[in-house]
Amino acid sequence: MKVTIKHWHAVAQWRWDTGKSEPNSDDSEGDVCGICRVPFEGCCPTCKMPGDDCPLIWGECTHIFHMHCLLKWLGTAASKQQCPMDRRTWGMPTKFSLVAVPC
């Protein structure tokens, strides 16, 4: 007997590749944005669409947030351009110079 797959309608869910956890691990809850406490795969409070419309941002300090959340934070005077988690000055790591290239 030979079985050939003609068509496979699979179902998959996408994840941000945060590089932290092994994507197929059972820790399905995933991480949440430190600012809005919404999962990364969700969207920040101002957005309606997750994914490319509400991308993530990586800091030098390896903290990750929704980009919109972080930019809003950085926009406030109280932020002093620091990462809200560890109070280090916010900076983009060179290797992640570009986040989420929408096609």
Residues 28-67 interacting with other proteins (rule: CB under 8 A): 28, 39, 41-42, 48-51, 55-56
Structure tokens at 2: 């030979």
Q: Is 96 helix (H, G, I), strand (E, B) or coil?
A: helix
Q: Is 77 in the site for other proteins (CB under 8 A)?
A: no
Q: Compute CA distances 59 → 7, 37, 66, 70, 85, whole Å.
A: 42, 17, 11, 10, 11
Q: Is 97 in the site for other proteins (CB under 8 A)?
A: no
Q: Is 92 in the site for other proteins (CB under 8 A)?
A: no
CB of 16 to other proteins, least distance (A): 6
Selected from 10, 75, 77, 97, the binder of other proteins by CB under 8 A is 10
End-to-end CA, the chain: 43
| Secondary element (H or E) of residue 72 | helix 67-75
Contact residues for other proteins, defined by CB under 8 A? 1-17, 23-24, 26, 28, 39, 41-42, 48-51, 55-56, 99-101, 103
